[in-house]
Amino acid sequence: MRPRQGLLGWLVTIGRYLAAGLVSAFILGPIVVIAYLAFAPEETVYLFPKPLAPADFAFSTETMSTFVTATGTLDALWTSIRVALLTLVLALVIGAPAGYALARHPFRGKDVYRLGIVATRAFPIVILAVPLITYYLRWGLDDTVWGVAFLHTAMALPTTVLVTSAVFIGVSEELEAAAMTMGCSRFGAFRRVALPLALPGLAASSIFTFVLSWNEVFGAAVLTLQNPTLPALVVVQLNQSPVPIRFAGGFFLLAPALIFMLIVRRYLFNLWGVKLK
Partner 1 sequence: MRHLQVEALTKTYGDMNAVDDVTLEIEAQEFLVLLGPSGCGKSTLLRCIAGLEEIDAGTIRIGGADVTDRKPKDRNISMVFQNYAVFPHLTVAKNIAFGLERQKKGRQEIAERVRSAAELLHIEDLLHRQPNSLSGGQRQRVAVARAIAYDADLLLMDEPLSNLDALLRLEMRAELKRLVSEIKATVIYVTHDQTEALSMGDRVAVMERGRIVQLGAPIEIYNDPASTFVAGFIGNPPMNLLPGRVLAEGTGVEVAGEGRIGAVPPASKPGDQVTAGIRAENIAVADTSGTWSIPGRVFVVEPLGSHNIITVDAGGELIRVSVGADHAAVVGGDVYLTVPPEKVRWLS
93 binds partner 1, rule: CB under 8 A:
no
Interface with partner 1 (CB under 8 A), residue total 17
Select 161 or 193, whichever has its Cβ closest to partner 1. 193
200 binds partner 1, rule: CB under 8 A:
no
Q: Which of 34, 83, 145, 193 binds partner 1 (CB under 8 A)?
A: 193
Which range touches partner 1 (CB under 8 A), out of 35-43, 84-92, 149-157, 176-184?
176-184
Select 111 or 174, whichever has its Cβ closest to partner 1. 174
58 binds partner 1, rule: CB under 8 A:
no
177 binds partner 1, rule: CB under 8 A:
yes
Select 56 or 174, whichever has its Cβ closest to partner 1. 174
Select 61 or 185, whichever has its Cβ closest to partner 1. 185
Select 169 or 254, whichever has its Cβ closest to partner 1. 169
179 binds partner 1, rule: CB under 8 A:
yes
Q: Which of 196, 225, 243, 257 binds partner 1 (CB under 8 A)?
A: 196
197 binds partner 1, rule: CB under 8 A:
yes
DSSP the chain: -HHHHHHHHHHHHHHHHHHHHHHHHHHHHHHHHHHHHHTS-HHHHH-SS---SGGG-----HHHHHHHHSTTHHHHHHHHHHHHHHHHHHHHHHHHHHHHHHHH---TTHHHHHHHHHHGGGS-HHHHHHHHHHHHHHHT-TTSHHHHHHHHHHHHHHHHHHHHHHHHHTS-HHHHHHHHHTT--HHHHIIIIIHHHHHHHHHHHHHHHHHHHHH--HHHHHH-SSS--HHHHHHHHHTTS-HHHHHHHHHHHHHHHHHHHHHHHHHHHHHTT----
- Taking the complex as a whole, how short is the minimal distance between the CB of residue 172 and partner 1, in angstroms? 7
183 binds partner 1, rule: CB under 8 A:
yes
Nearest CA to 100 out of 169, 31, 186, 153 is that of 169
- Taking the complex as a whole, how short is the minimal distance between the CB of residue 183 and partner 1, in angstroms? 3
Per CB under 8 A, residues contacting partner 1 are 172, 174-175, 177-186, 188, 193, 196-197
